[in-house]
Amino acid sequence: MKYREFEITYNPPPISDRRFDYEFSHGDYDGPGDSRSGTAASYDQAKEFIDEIIRELGYLDSCPECHQERVDPDHKFCDACRHLRLGDHRFERPK
């Protein structure tokens, strides 16, 4: 599954500890030393870890509502979320 340029996979190791069931890595992951990969106990936790990595690295300016890249850097939210917040429901929140 893709999430914010990261691939998340369910790959439980043959151990009873479930903290490592999901693996994630960025599409441009360069191997050891690149912090854009990791493991998590759940898909949701993997997404949280990815959001944290993105904030720490500061390499992606994203919409705080849907986490998609912003189209216009002058606005806090992406176009769809900005219109939804203004009550214009002709738009759908990006998935």
> Any idea where the domains of the chain sit in the sequence?
1-59, 61-95
Contact 33, 42 (CB under 8 A): no
Per-residue model confidence as pLDDT tens digits over 37-87: 999 999 999 999 998 888 787 655 567 677 666 655 556 677 777 667 776
If one compares 95 and 55, the residue with the highest pLDDT of the two is 55
DSSP string, 9-26: EE---SSS-GGGSEEEEE
**pTM of this prediction?**
0.60
